[in-house]
Structure 1
Amino acid sequence: MLSRTLTSFRNVIVKKTIHFKQTRHHSVESLMEKYSLQKSICQSKKLPKDVNAEGVFACNELDLKEVNIYGFDYDYTLALYKPTMDYLLYNLGRQILIEQYKYPKEISRLDYIPDFAIRGLHYDIKKGVLLKLDSFLQIQFGSVYRGLTPLTDDEVLRLYRNRIMPIAYVEGNIKDNRQTSNTMIQLADLFSVPEIGLLCNVTDYFEKNHVDYHPEILFRDVRASLIDAHLVMHKIVPENVAHYLEPNKNLRLFLERLKNANKRLFLVTNSPYKFVNKGMDFLVGPDWKTFFDVIIVQARKPRFFTDKSRPIRIYDERSGNHIWDRVTKLEKGVIYYEGTVKQLQELTNWRGHQVLYFGDHPYSDLADVTLEHGWRTGAIIPELKHEIKTLNNTEFKENANWLQMLTQIIEDHQDCEGEDEERILQNWLDERDDLRYKIKIVFNAQFGSVFRTYHNPSYFSRRLFRFADIYTSNITNLMNYSVNHTFYPRRGVMPHEYISYFV
């Protein structure tokens, strides 16, 4: 009896094993048929609609009816710059490296490469490499450079031992909400792009000419040279504003529209008054100050948002000096200097969700005001225009669609057995890698999209979506919406919801 029971049990196990193996076995013909069917379905699908390049995109629900006060940064928010600005800063920084820091005169022949880098990248100060991270702190292979030379995957793993970076290594040690040490720096604003260009060019020169150098010293010299370059740039640009600033005929109309809707406006910028005045005169007109209820220059953000006590002062336009009288109220038409957001709120009573502040930097402009003060925030991301133009390209849409569908059949049939089937699967994986590479390089040949790695959001995107309620490529894109418009975020698809949304 026991023998028959054991025999019966073994037969059941064998049948189940055979059934399991059969479910994992796919003939070459069936795999090719499924591939052809999937390809044919993809080709017959209607391509997605174009994305509106002048759209405003919501990360968080934002009802403009609740907003009574609009605040603005100046650089890359109200004022967008032409590529000539990058060349100017790069050339000034290179000259300072040679003249003040005694770098080899041969680097004067290293010209700026405009399409080499994007913002949002990380630079490892200790190891001297530039790399791109995703929202999970994973290194994007194929986007790690020493100078102008890409590192292989093996070289990257030898440097870091792991593809995932420890958060303390990336973000430093945090104490009392302040970063106390940093091994890596994120280059998060557009002014950092020429800095990256100079850093990589000089690194490349040292590497190719076998010059012994210290990566951290090089980084700090380049950073210091670019800080000094900004001081010179602030004097050069006002002499020929049209050569550096993008005209924006809608900016005045936008400000008029807000004032006609009885909104209060303020400007908080790190740039000096004379520089801002020339730029706003060009963009809006000589009466630009009449649109703003409060104007604060040389604010020293992010310290403006984080310092508890730093007196706000009056700037005297005629003498160019600061008046040291105590400021007890903020008056329209007066230019203010430094100060803190605490004083701004105390003197105006502008608080919380009634304030919407626009800037281009996810950290120094947006993070503290939303986390500490409850302001609503908008990010101006000029690169978004190029990103959306690329998304709307027909070939890109076709490749992105096929990538999704090819990945699905790989996932569904990856457990097949047999050498022939595995060769087919490897061909599919190779095709997938090729598609991912093509989709990457249409944004930027070295680093791809600002907003994503191969499949995950980039680290830059993660911080942007965390700190910005809305984002757009140009501040005047808001003219496409009423001052009472509500921006609704789209329902994001979680991994476990994918099939229920996309059958």
Structure 2
Amino acid sequence: MAKFSSLNVGDAKVFRLSDYDCVGFDLDNTICRYKLSSMVKMEYEVIADYLVREKGYNPEYLLKPFEANLDFVKKGLLLDFARGNVVQIRFDGYIAKASHGTRFLSEKEIIEVYGPNRKWDVAEKFTQNMLEAWNGPLSEKVRTLLDYFDMPASLAFARAVDSVDAAAEGKSVETYTVWPDVHDALLYMFKRERFSLNEGGYFPALKSDPDQYIIKCSNNVLSWLRLLKSKKVTFLITGSHVDFASFTATHCMGEDWRNLFDVVVCYARKPGFFTGVRPFIALDGFEERDSITAADMKPGNIYSQGNWQDLQQFLKMATKEETPKCLYVGDNLIQDIYTPSEYTRCDTVSVVEELSAEGMVGSHKKHSDSQILVSDTWGSYFCCGGKGSFDANCTLWSKIIQNHSQICVPDLECLANHNLDHCYSPFVVEEDSCKQMGYYPSCPASLAVLL
């Protein structure tokens, strides 16, 4: 259930930034946005090259042009490891659509695989406890593709399954073991040591031509961040290691980016940052040194790893408030939205670029990367597109947005266009309520047709 730190105006709840003592941000895909068509294609090509070169997969399948299956790529899909399937689920675990490899399954085939209720027990368990699929037992059976860094893994996984099927020459494959290889490819790309070594394909590409992949923050957003810093305690929590975070932050916010935040946390290893007790690590340049306590933390510094409880102690000292009201703004719906909402007293704002890419009611603004964010095959990020009620057709992701964030915006520009006292209508999760009101500037077109 969403928690409201906002005021009541008459009978209506409102959300406004001025009600908070502290405002924090994720970096990647929140403050630092990417040119997704270029970046996702590059990521896929690095993964595919690795699978062919290091794991021996058939290049006929993996090295097909990325564009040949562009519509297959979608954020928020789940990988069914053992069956070699890619699935889209509703909020209750119902399999709305599924493919085996890159071949989409018919309605009849989905029922044959997942039963007449179209429920996969693993997906159901995942919807009940989403952290179980992160580090728990479910992580050995399913993977959720939550952001634009792992989104291309859906196509790599599916094409690798096609490759295995082709090698089987019509014989049944009882259990697929493709995922560990795809996971190795992701580690090859993103392991934090790769940045300084200029290895792994992804980091060298970004470093050699950052303008091809990174979008610079507008002056409007930078001015807004400075205004926030002058009125609130501001913080940055990113999963990126300090060297990569400094590179991207400098490129999108400028050389003085550190002046926009009272404290910066790198390599936070979310969602564990919000649930665990891992200590903060002091940094010497880009090198991790000794662990420290909350009492050792100083304004203006950058730290590595850490946990929410210690950060909250720092925020108490910085605000001189016993229980400072905190807001966190991020894009990853499990790491940045569900976990802080469920496990801390921190409110959240979700940043979802699909909101503008798919289209909003009354808006004709076109997202520059709609071609990579919109899939006609899988359908909407927010709605499964079936018949029936609003609730019956919400994807898991739209449920998380509605239940665990105050509002949802496509980018920070939407917030920066208003002063800190601006009143937004937050999500109100009540029976028969108009749940789309928290989307700003307006409701996704796919959900509006159900209301």
With the length of structure 2 as denominator, give the TM-score of the two structures. 0.77
Q: State the Cα deviation string for residues 295-344 of structure 1 (Å, max 9, x = none).
A: 11111111111212x22111222xx3222163433223322111111111
The answer to whether the 8 A contact 2:22-2:315 is kept is: no
Structure 1 counterpart of 2:150, from 169, 183, 192: 192
Question: How far 1:362 moved relative to its partner?
Answer: 1.3
Question: What's the CA shift for 1:176?
Answer: 13
Contact 1:135 1:459 in 2 (8 A): yes
1:163–1:239 CA distance, 2 compared to 1 (3 A):
same
Helix, strand or coil at the partner of 2:296 = coil
Task: Give the aligned partner of residue 162 of structure 1.
Answer: 116
Hey, what's the Cα distance between the residues in 2 that align with 1:446 and 1:215?
Answer: 26
Output the TM-score relative to the length of structure 1: 0.70
Q: In the TM superposition, what are the counterparts of 1:13-92 in structure 2 within 5 Å?
A: 61-82=14-35, 83-92=37-46
Kindly name which structure, 1 or 2, has the bigger radius of gyration based on alpha carbons.
1
Equivalent residue runs for 1:44-443 within 5 Å: 61-82=14-35, 83-112=37-66, 113-140=69-96, 143-165=97-119, 168-172=122-126, 178=132, 180-182=136-138, 183-208=141-166, 210=168, 216-231=176-191, 232=200, 233-249=202-218, 250-260=220-230, 262-308=231-277, 310-317=278-285, 320-324=286-290, 326-327=292-293, 328-349=295-316, 354-388=325-359, 443=374
Distance in structure 2 (CA, Å) of the matches to 1:389 and 1:203 = 36
Change (3 A) 1:464 1:167: farther
Name the SS of the counterpart of 2:215 in structure 1: coil
Q: Would the aligned equivalents of 1:94 and 1:107 in 2 still touch at CA under 8 Å?
A: no
Is this contact kept in 1: 2:76–2:144, CA < 8 A? yes
**Greater fraction helix:** 1
Distance 1:335 1:215, change over 3 A: farther
Identity, in percent, stands at 22
Amino acid at match of 1:272: H
3-state SS of 2:178 partner: helix
- Mapped to 1, the partners of 2:45 and 2:311 lie a distance apart of 37
What residue is the counterpart of 2:447 in the other structure? none
What stretches of structure 1 move > 4 A for 4+ residues in a row?
A: 166-169, 172-179, 211-216, 350-353, 389-393, 490-497
After superposition, give the CA deviation of every residue in 1:198-254 in whole Å (9 maximum; x if it has no partner).
Answer: 111222333345467675420221122112212332344133211111233133122
d(CA) in 1 for partners of 2:291, 2:88: 48
Following TM superposition, by how much is the alpha carbon of 1:102 offset from its aligned partner in structure 2, in angstroms? 2.9
**Within 1, Cα distance between the matches of 2:104 and 2:120?**
22
Higher relative contact order (CA 8 A, sep 6+): 1
Q: Is the 8 A contact 1:61 1:469 kept in 2?
A: no
SS at match of 2:98: strand
Match of residue 446 from structure 1: 377
Rounded to whole Å, the distance in 1 between the matches of 2:296 and 2:178 is: 45
Secondary structure at 2:158 match in 1: helix
Q: Residue 48 of structure 2: SS of its match in structure 1?
A: helix
Structure 2 counterpart of 1:271, one-letter code? S
- SS of the aligned residue for 1:191 comes to coil
Let me know the Cα RMSD of the aligned residues.
3.1
Tell me how far 1:149 sits from its aligned partner: 1.1
Give distance in 2, aligned partners of 1:335 and 1:375: 21
Using the alignment, how far apart are the partners of 2:54 and 2:227 within structure 1?
Answer: 48
Q: Deviations over 1:35-90 (max 9, x none)?
A: xxxxxxxxxxxxxxxxxxxxxxxx98423232121111111111111122112211
Q: Check the 8 A contact 1:377/1:468 in 2, yes or no.
A: yes
On the 8 A contact 1:306/1:340 being kept in 2, the answer is yes
Are residues 149 and 165 of structure 1, via their aligned partners in 2, closer, same or farther at CA, if it must alter by over 3 Å?
A: same
Cα 1:295–1:496, aligned 2, differ >3 Å: closer, same or farther? closer
State how far apart, in whole Å, the 1-side matches of 2:323 and 2:203 are.
Answer: 33
CA gap 1:88/1:137 in 2 versus in 1, 3 angstroms: same
Deviation at 1:103, TM superposition (A): 2.6
Contact 2:30/2:331 (8 A) holds in 1: yes
Task: Check 1:98–1:301 CA distance in 2 against 1; reply closer, same or farther (3 A cut).
Answer: same
Secondary structure at the aligned position of 1:487 is classed as: coil
Gaps of 5+ in 2: 1-11, 192-199, 365-372, 387-392, 435-449
Bigger mean CA deviation after superposition, 211-220 or 90-99: 211-220
Rounded to whole Å, the distance in 2 between the matches of 1:176 and 1:269 is: 20
